[in-house]
Amino acid sequence: MERRTIGAGALDVGAVGLGCMPMSWAYTGSQQRGDESLRTVHAALDAGVRLLDTADMYGPFTNELLVGRVLKERRADAFVSTKCGLLVGEQHIVANGRPGYVKRACDASLRRLQTDVIDLYQLHRADPEVPIEETWGAMAELVTAGKVRTLGLCAVGARAQRSAQRSTPAAGPRRVSRGRGPGAALYEGTIRQLARIQQVFPVSAVQAELSVWSPEALETLLPWCEARGIGLLAAMPLGNGFLTGTLTPGQGFEPDDLRARHPRFAAETMASNQSIVVGLRRVAERHGPEVTPAQVALAWLLTRGPHVVPVPGTKRARWAVENAAAAELTLTHRDLTELAALPVAEDSWE
């Protein structure tokens, strides 16, 4: 697989990563099986994937434990990224950016991951009660101590802003902007945070939602990162599974599946957005019967710049191998022109 070097720490990762969250958090718990998840991680590594993305809150904790079982056998094959800063309660999730907590959380992650160093340690969310410089300073001390190699920040952007916008009345379905306008302002808060913490210790990577149907990060966040040599880990690059073309409008989701409450997965909204999948499938068919809409969506992300690394999540070995193969797909000028012309995603009626 193609290698990409990102960030101040010259991180060497495969062009496509593996998001491990679905193996133990947020997606259809009845389909989460430990042995199959282990096979999935091994299959991804065999296919050339290096970056394994997890977090202490996934499970909570069980996702890191699962990844740790693989790292115990194949640490040299993997680039491990995990996160701190969010605590999971019975009915809520809260941020904790206190320096003492961050250091304890790192030690606990190291034990669960069965490794002596974390390649990329990310702040999941800034704590509004703690200056972000204090949290970041504590994380920088972990680098000095040799427990962490590089630092990253998870962006609060498109999805959080859309949720905030949905809290106000609207007249009908809302489409996400691809052009300058509301979409361009969604990551202003994240960029301000980045500018502050960059003064404390270099940022190596930013993780943010980016996909064909959520392109807002292209407006301001990606250019900001590119100008500073900071990598962008594209989270949810397959639109929580929608861009794979395997979901049917109205199919329903189990109550513990985040899509059961996601406005874009309401039956009528899924139906309205099918034209995006149709466009991806049309491009895929030109490249042969084995190419899928998901691979086209990932290949498109790889054309956004050498600092972009999509991190598709899955709990199935089949999909992990398919996603990895997207790194070998070369899109033509015609493909890119058609993808640029796809309609923007529609959110639900308010």
Q: How far apart, in whole angstroms, are the C-alpha atoms of residue 226 and residue 232?
A: 8
Residue 204 CB contacts under 8 Å (≥ 6 apart), including other chains: 6, 7, 8, 9, 11, 120, 150, 151, 152, 230, 231
Would you state the structure tokens that stand for residue 242, as one six-digit string? 């929608």
- DSSP symbols for 189-211: HHHHHHHHHHTTS---EEEEE-B
Q: Is the dihedral of CA 302, 207, 145, 52 positive or negative?
A: negative
Q: How far apart, in whole angstroms, are the C-alpha atoms of residue 270 and residue 241?
A: 12
Give how far Cα 96 sits from Cα of 93, 99, 104, 107, 142, Å. 10, 9, 12, 16, 17
Q: Is 350 helix (H, G, I), strand (E, B) or coil?
A: coil
- DSSP symbols for 128-179: TTS-HHHHHHHHHHHHHTTSEEEEEEE---HHHHHHHHHTS--SS--BPPSS
Query: Among this protein's residues, is 58 annotated catalytic?
Result: yes
- Of 27, 58, 121, 187, the active-site residue reads 58
Residue 60: is the preceding peptide bond cis (ω within 30°)? yes
Which residue in the block uniquely carries the two structure tokens 């974390």?
118
109 burial class (0-12, 13-18, 19+ CB within 10 angstroms)? buried
Q: How far apart, in whole angstroms, are the C-alpha atoms of residue 69 and residue 71?
A: 6
CA-based end-to-end distance of the chain:
43
Which amino acid, residue 228? R
Q: Any idea which residues carry the catalytic annotation?
A: 58
